[in-house]
């Protein structure tokens, strides 16, 4: 497969050269583009923080994408290297080889891809093949994907393929086969009389099924074919918008040994996601609600890693935080078994040149997100039909999983100085979420002050201070950072996290880190040295554990 991929690109390049040299008329030779990323980390022993010290001492993750485009045709390959995989990334990523390759042809109506591809139907609950390199997730499909637009306003998709599972000197797919179809109709495009209407409406539906026979339990008869279907809509009128999606999945038993009530159960799964929003200049509000029950499904019934071979995506109803303590200490991971969650976002900008708004205006944003365990009535049928329990849409128990209230105020004082002030209030049930290894309720508050000062057109300073207060887990934390940028190319930063409130005196440690970088257009080089505390890194409700480490890290990214 490696040789074939390289031969395809080599043949294309040679043919372009030949035509350019042997034709009088100008020939479109096509274009090459791509990007590269390389991360290398040198590990040091640090017994105080139980830092990871692998035998290989140094880890390396890298990849290069090379894409070719000419007219309606495009092709690409991705070369990957894990020598050895950075600590905290999946151990199933090892070696060097080709991890992604595709060929695509498209015109105005038809789009065909063979090889590797990513895809999402609706919100992703029924199907999401995607890559999140920071989490070590890549469940690209390998097969054939077709998109067809038979008439204005009508959009059809179909696919069949296997999911990427392992990387061992090259791509290794799982055994399960995914088959999917999706259709969407834009009513305003379809009907000429509604082209200029303020009311906009789209409707869509999906069907996705899997086939796998790699079942390994003699105790149960497991289905080899599992299907799921979904229906969705999106409406907009003037400043209002409303959307929804419902997904239903037939029985899909999966092993879970920690609680027999969920082990190889045959209960069907369902999910409902609703969003309502209103926006105008200076003000916006969004409200979303989600019911999800037993919607975890993979292209296998064999126990694999937490994020391996996932067909559907379980979206988290919470804000994605960027400040260190809020983002990494108690991030919320979507509950696999089910949850009922709500989220409210409000944004308001106080007009400029007013007493409260100041010369440039002041932005205030507020977010409230909460998730609860569904109300379940467990039934005694594990020796027969194994449905295990009964529940209903948005039937919520009093068992909280997570609550996050946060508010942010942004203001520009003058041409040189601006600030952000943030407050966070968390309720975190680690007995259910299990990302802090505390397994009890955690109540925490965080305050952040972020100041930016522009010295002149080429030099600027940023000061960031964070503090967290909690009586649970590891107690109080302090975070401080100063960053100096001398544009347009250089920056240097120093930060420290201090667990001054740890109930164990010997563990009241500093996690200091210094970093520097050089940026030149699409090229970026950075290095950092210091301690990294153990924790959890999450994106969109999907998380990976990050072990404690001490050492030197180099990062290079570039595109062309």
pLDDT in tens, 178-228: 999 999 999 999 998 888 888 999 999 999 999 998 877 888 888 999 999
Residues of the domain holding 450: 29-559
pLDDT band for 4, please (50, 70, 90 cuts). very low
According to DSSP, the β-strands at 171-186 and 127-129 are unpaired
Going by C-alpha positions, the residue among 119, 403, 540, 125 that lies closest to residue 291 is 125
Is 111 part of any domain? Answer: yes
**Which DSSP symbol is given to 141?**
E
Read off the pLDDT of each residue in 460-487 and give the average, rounded to a whole number: 94
Cα–Cα distances in Å, from 404 out to 174, 217, 319, 494? 37, 41, 8, 29
Q: Kindly report, residue by residue over 243-264, the tens digit of the pLDDT.
A: 999 999 999 999 887 788 999 9
Inform me whether the pLDDT recorded for 1 exceeds 70: no
Encoded tokens for 509: 């440690």
Is 385 part of any domain? Answer: yes
Is 140 part of any domain? Answer: yes
Q: How many domains does the chain have?
A: 1
Inform me whether the pLDDT recorded for 66 exceeds 90: yes
The predicted pLDDT at position 14 comes to 46
Read off the pLDDT of each residue in 521-545 and give the average, rounded to a whole number: 84
The predicted pLDDT at position 24 comes to 56
Q: Kindly report, residue by residue over 139-161, the tens digit of the pLDDT.
A: 999 999 999 999 999 999 999 99
Is 17 part of any domain? Answer: no
Encoded tokens for 440: 């009890």
Is 379 part of any domain? Answer: yes
The predicted pLDDT at position 533 comes to 87
Average pLDDT of every residue of the chain: 90
Inform me whether the pLDDT recorded for 501 exceeds 60: yes
Q: Kindly report, residue by residue over 399-451, the tens digit of the pLDDT.
A: 999 999 999 999 999 999 999 999 999 999 988 877 777 888 999 999 999 99
Is 95 part of any domain? Answer: yes
Q: Is the peptide bond before 215 cis (omega within 30 degrees of 0)?
A: no
| Largest Cα–Cα separation, the chain | 81
CATH of the domain at 282: 2.40.170
Q: What is the Cβ-side half-sphere exposure of residue 332, based on CA atoms within 13 angstroms?
A: 27
For the ranges 142-151, 308-317, 523-532, the lowest mean pLDDT is seen at: 308-317
Inform me whether the pLDDT recorded for 10 exceeds 60: no
The predicted pLDDT at position 546 comes to 81
pLDDT band for 528, please (50, 70, 90 cuts). very high
Is 21 part of any domain? Answer: no
3-state helix, strand, coil in the chain (%, to 5): 10, 55, 35
The predicted pLDDT at position 461 comes to 94
Judged on CB neighbours under 10 Å (0-12, 13-18, 19+), 370 is buried
Is 152 part of any domain? Answer: yes
Phi-psi region of 336 (alpha: psi -120 to 50; beta: other; left: phi over 0): alpha
The predicted pLDDT at position 91 comes to 81
């Amino acid at each position: 497969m490696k040789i074939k991929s390289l031969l395809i690109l080599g043949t294309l390049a040679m043919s372009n050269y030949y035509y350019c040299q042997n034709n009088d008329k100008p020939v479109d030779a096509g274009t090459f583009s791509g990007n590269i990323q390389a991360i290398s980390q040198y590990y040091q022993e640090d017994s105080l923080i139980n830092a990871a010290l692998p035998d290989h001492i140094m880890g390396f993750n890298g990849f290069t994408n090379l894409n070719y485009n000419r007219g309606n045709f495009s092709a690409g390959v991705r070369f990957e290297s894990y020598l050895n995989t950075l600590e905290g990334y999946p151990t199933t990523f090892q070696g060097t080889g080709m991890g992604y390759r595709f060929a695509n042809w498209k015109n105005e109506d038809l789009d065909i891809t063979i090889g590797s591809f990513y895809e999402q139907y609706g919100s992703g609950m029924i199907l999401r093949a995607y890559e999140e390199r920071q989490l070590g997730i890549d469940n690209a499909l390998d097969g054939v994907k077709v998109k067809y637009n038979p008439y204005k306003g009508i959009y059809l998709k179909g696919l069949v393929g296997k999911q990427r599972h392992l990387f061992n000197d090259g791509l290794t797919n799982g055994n399960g086969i995914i088959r999917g179809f999706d259709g969407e109709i834009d009513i305003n495009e379809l009907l000429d009389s509604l082209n200029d209407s303020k009311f906009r409406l789209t409707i869509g539906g999906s069907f996705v099924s899997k086939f796998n026979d790699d079942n390994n339990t003699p105790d149960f008869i497991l289905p080899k074919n599992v299907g799921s279907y979904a229906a969705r809509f999106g409406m907009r009128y003037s400043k209002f918008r409303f959307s929804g999606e419902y997904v239903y999945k037939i029985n899909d038993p999966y092993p879970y040994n920690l609680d027999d009530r969920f082990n190889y159960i045959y209960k069907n799964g369902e999910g409902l996601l609703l969003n309502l929003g209103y926006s105008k200049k200076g003000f916006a509000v969004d409200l979303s609600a989600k019911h999800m029950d037993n919607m975890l499904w993979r292209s296998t019934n064999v126990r694999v890693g937490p994020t391996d071979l996932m067909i559907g995506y379980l979206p988290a109803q919470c804000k994605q935080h960027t400040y260190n303590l809020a983002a990494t200490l108690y991030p919320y991971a979507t509950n696999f078994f089910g949850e009922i969650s709500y989220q409210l976002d409000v944004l308001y900008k106080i007009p400029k040149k007013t007493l409260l708004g100041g010369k440039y205006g002041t932005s205030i944003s507020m977010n409230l997100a909460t998730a609860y365990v569904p109300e379940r009535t467990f039934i005694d049928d594990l020796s027969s039909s194994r449905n295990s329990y009964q529940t209903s849409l948005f039937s919520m128990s009093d068992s909280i999983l997570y609550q996050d209230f946060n508010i942010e105020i942004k203001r520009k004082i003058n041409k040189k100085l601006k600030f952000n002030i943030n407050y966070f209030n968390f309720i975190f049930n680690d007995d259910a979420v299990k990302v802090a290894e505390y397994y009890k309720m955690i109540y925490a508050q965080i305050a952040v002050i972020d100041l930016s000062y522009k010295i002149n057109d080429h030099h600027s300073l940023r000061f960031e201070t964070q503090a967290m207060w909690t009586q649970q887990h590891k107690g109080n934390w302090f975070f401080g950072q100063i960053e100096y940028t001398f544009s347009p190319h250089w920056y240097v930063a120093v930060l420290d996290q201090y667990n001054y409130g740890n109930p164990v005196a010997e563990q009241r440690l500093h996690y200091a880190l210094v970093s520097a970088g050089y940026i030149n257009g699409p090229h970026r080089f950075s290095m950092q040295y210091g301690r990294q505390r153990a924790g959890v890194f999450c994106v969109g409700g999907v998380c990976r554990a990050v072990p404690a480490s001490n050492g030197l890290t180099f990062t290079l990214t570039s595109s062309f």
